Amino acid sequence: MGLDTTARFPPYDLFKSYVMENDKKYGTDFAGSIWSNEVGFPTVGEGTLESNGWEGQAVQNEDSMPESVAKTLAVIAASGSRQILWYQMFDDRQKRDGFGLVWAPPGTKPESWERKGGYWGFALVAKTLPGMKLQGTNFFPVGNEPNRFRSLLFVEEGGKGRVLLAWNDHLSETRDLTVRLGSNTSNRKLWNVDDGTSGDLKEESGYKLYPVNNGERTMVFMTWDEEN
């Protein structure tokens, strides 16, 4: 299974190009060692800024966090970052409006920590992508406008593991996706970024990728093994 490799992600790539230019100029070797050292979203119960305390920050509704977290981590990994540090794992004010992926209700003991909306999006990417290398991306155009379909295929270096993430970034149009994995694949799993559960995949499967404004889940997150 192969995907087109022409699409890239400008913010990270521009920074990496700058570092590479300086490597060439000064004889250093930093381009292959870039870390993303602060990535995260503040949350609040209703997804509004009222009494949030994070002035000027874009606030994520927890319902959208599973996909937002998985997309963010996958895009940064695809762009070549060697390490990604999430800011932060725990809400530090015992309020469900910080950057944490888990929180504790006020007055409870540490063992009462509860998962927030982005927990499983983070956990699944952290579990499946280490040791993987981006093989390709897709970004299919429709006329002069991109249709906002994106996919990332990661391949295990020196192994048979595969991870595919695909989603629809269009604001109003639904996209159809068909994935054909072939008879040389095994351990095929479709993962739910909301709760971390998985189900078995057939060799061929079809999906509706709903638009961003629909409120439906629009991400496909699958793993499998592939014999060369």
More reliable by pLDDT, 213 or 123 = 123
Please state the rounded mean pLDDT for residues 45-68.
60
User: How far apart, in whole angstroms, are the C-alpha atoms of residue 150 and residue 140?
Assistant: 8
- This prediction has a pTM of 0.78
Using a 10 angstrom Cβ sphere, with 0-12 exposed, 13-18 middle and 19 or more buried, the burial of residue 59 is middle
- Which stretch, 56-65, 153-162, 211-220, has highest mean pLDDT? 153-162
107: left (phi over 0), alpha (psi -120 to 50) or beta: left
Share of the chain above pLDDT 90, in %: 27
Whether 128 shows a pLDDT value over 90: the answer reads yes
Could you give the domains of the chain?
10-128 (no CATH), 132-226 (2.60.40.1180)
User: How far apart, in whole angstroms, are the C-alpha atoms of residue 15 and residue 117?
Assistant: 30
